[in-house]
Amino acid sequence: MNILLLGYGKMGRTIEKIALDRGHHIAGRIDVANRQEMESLSGDAVDVVIEFSSPESAYENITYCLKRGWPVVSGTTGWLNHRAEVEALCGQHKGAFFYASNYSIGVNLFFRLNKVLAQFMKNYPSYQVSMTEIHHTEKKDAPSGTAITLAEGILENLPGKTGWAEKGPEAIADSVLEIESLREGTVPGTHIIRYGSEVDQIEISHIAHSRQGFALGAVVAAEWLVGKQGIFGMDDLLGE
C-alpha cells in the first residue's frame, strides 16, 4: 500500500516506521516546508493519505486530497469547525474519510467506559464531574481532541450538563463540565475523569506511555479504509 504522510513531525515519523514494518511504501513525506511536492504526485501514486499536520493546515490538506480522489485518515484536532464541509466534499467526490480524535485502541475503550460511567452517575447528582488532560508542551490546541470527545460522551449521558468550558480563574456553573488543560514536558497524553462529592471521589484515567499506540491505530485505519467509500471513525473500525 502506498501511503502519503501529511505532517512529518514526531507522530509522522512514528507512523512511517510502523507502516514500513508492516510492509507498506511511503509515497511522500509532506510538511510545511515542502507542501508543493504533493502537487507533483500522480493520482495513482497514492493509495491512502495519513494526515497528522496542524490545526491551521488540516482543512486545506484534507480537501485537497479528497478532490484528488485519495482516501484520507486524519488525526489532526483543532479544525473541526470545518468538519461538515469536509464530509460534504467527501460525499460529492464519492471519497473516503476517516477521522478520530485518538487512534489508540485503549483510548477508544476508555471512551466507551466514560459513557457507561456517566450513565451510571446520572443517578447520583451529589457527584460533580470534572476533567484534566495533560499533554506535551508542543501540542498546540487545548483542550485536546480526546478531551472534547470525552466531554461529548459525558454530555450525551449525564442530564444537567449543558456544555463544557476550559478551567480558568472564574468559577463556572454546575451545569458546565470543567476541563483543565495542562502542558508538561514530553507527556504523550493523560486524561482523567473525576466525579467528586463532599465525602469521596471516583476517578478513571487513561495514560499513554508513548505515541506507538496512536500511530499503530492510524496505520490500521488506513489499511481498513482503502477500497471503501463514505465517512468513518473508530467505532466503524472496531465494531460497535
What does the pLDDT read at residue 141? 80
For residue range 146-161, list pLDDT tens digits in order: 999 999 999 999 998 9
Integer Cα distance of 8 and 220 in angstroms? 18
User: What does DSSP assign to residue 93?
Assistant: T
The number of angstroms, rounded, from the C-alpha of 165 to the middle of its chain's C-alpha atoms is: 19
**Start-to-end CA span in the chain (Å):** 27
Is the pTM above the cut of 0.85?
Answer: no
What does the pLDDT read at residue 172? 86
Q: What residues form the annotated binding site for (S)-2,3,4,5-tetrahydrodipicolinate?
A: 136, 145-146
Task: CATH 3.40.50.720 in the chain: give the residue spans.
Answer: 2-103+212-238
Fold classification of 105-207 (topology level): Dihydrodipicolinate Reductase; domain 2 (3.30.360)
For residue range 65-110, list pLDDT tens digits in order: 999 999 999 999 889 999 999 999 999 999 999 999 889 989 999 9
What does the pLDDT read at residue 239? 83
What does the pLDDT read at residue 155? 97
What is the mean pLDDT of the segment spanning 120-126? 95
Give the chain's mean pLDDT.
Answer: 93
What does the pLDDT read at residue 98? 98
Active site residues: 135, 139
Q: What residues form the annotated binding site for NADP(+)?
A: 35
What angle, rounded to 10 degrees, do the helices at 58-68 and 83-92 form?
Answer: 10
Q: What residues form the annotated binding site?
A: 35, 75-77, 100-103, 136, 145-146
> pLDDT band for position 174 (50/70/90)?
confident
What is the mean pLDDT of the segment spanning 29-36? 90
Angle at 232 between CA 58 and CA 51, to 5 degrees: 25
Place of cell 509515497: 27
User: What does DSSP assign to residue 33?
Assistant: G
Task: CATH 3.30.360.10 in the chain: give the residue spans.
Answer: 105-207
The segment with the largest mean pLDDT, out of 1-5, 29-33, 137-141, is: 1-5
Quick one: 2-103+212-238 is in which CATH superfamily?
NAD(P)-binding Rossmann-like Domain (3.40.50.720)
pLDDT at 221 over 80: yes
pLDDT at 240 over 60: no
**Residue 66 contacts residue 51 (beta carbons within 8 Å):** no
